[in-house]
Amino acid sequence: MDRQKLEDLIRLVEDSDIHKLEISGPFTSVKITKSRGYAAPAHAHVVERAPLEPAAPPAESTPVEETETIDRDSGLVPIVSPMVGVFYSSPSPESPPYVRQGDRVNKGQIVCIVEAMKIINEIESEVSGTIVRMLVENEQPVEYGQELFLVQPD
């Protein structure tokens, strides 16, 4: 990537609500991140732009090994991500998490945010019960259908 394109990308991030920009290619890798004080507005919208370079083919994902085995017959109900995005446990870096392990949740209660393409998506619990386990760390990328929490239903 030439210097002018890199400077244009830096200006794009500085002059917008973009918090993080990553571009990868066969011979190029660029990651630009704004300071941690960023909090995306709840009304953020996507502006589609043509890619500057062809996108690299997706890397093969390898499942993360769990340190403990989860007994699927235990009656625990997973709360799953309805989309690919970035998991946030709180509405902003300064705010406390929506829920913690051991907290009681009600059906319809917001438990986290998954940000996809600068759109903030509040994820609600589909069951009332107690959060037994948090399976994802804050700011971790998540996949469609990935389990985020395990809930012991009431």
Is position 101 within any domain? yes
141 closest CA partner among 85, 80, 89, 63: 85
Q: Are residues 40 and 104 in the same domain?
A: no
Residue 115 sits in a domain whose CATH number is 2.40.50.100
pLDDT at 31 over 50: yes
Q: Are residues 82 and 147 in the same domain?
A: yes
Is position 66 within any domain? no
Question: Parallel, antiparallel, or unpaired: how do β-strands 20-24 and 29-33 relate?
Answer: antiparallel
**What is the average pLDDT across 107-127?**
92
Q: pTM here?
A: 0.54
More confident residue, 140 or 69: 140
95 closest CA partner among 45, 38, 34: 38
Is residue 151 within 8 Å of residue 105, measured between CB atoms? yes
**Angstrom distance (rounded) from CA 19 to CA 26:** 24
Structure tokens at 138: 């804050």
Host domain of residue 111: 74-153
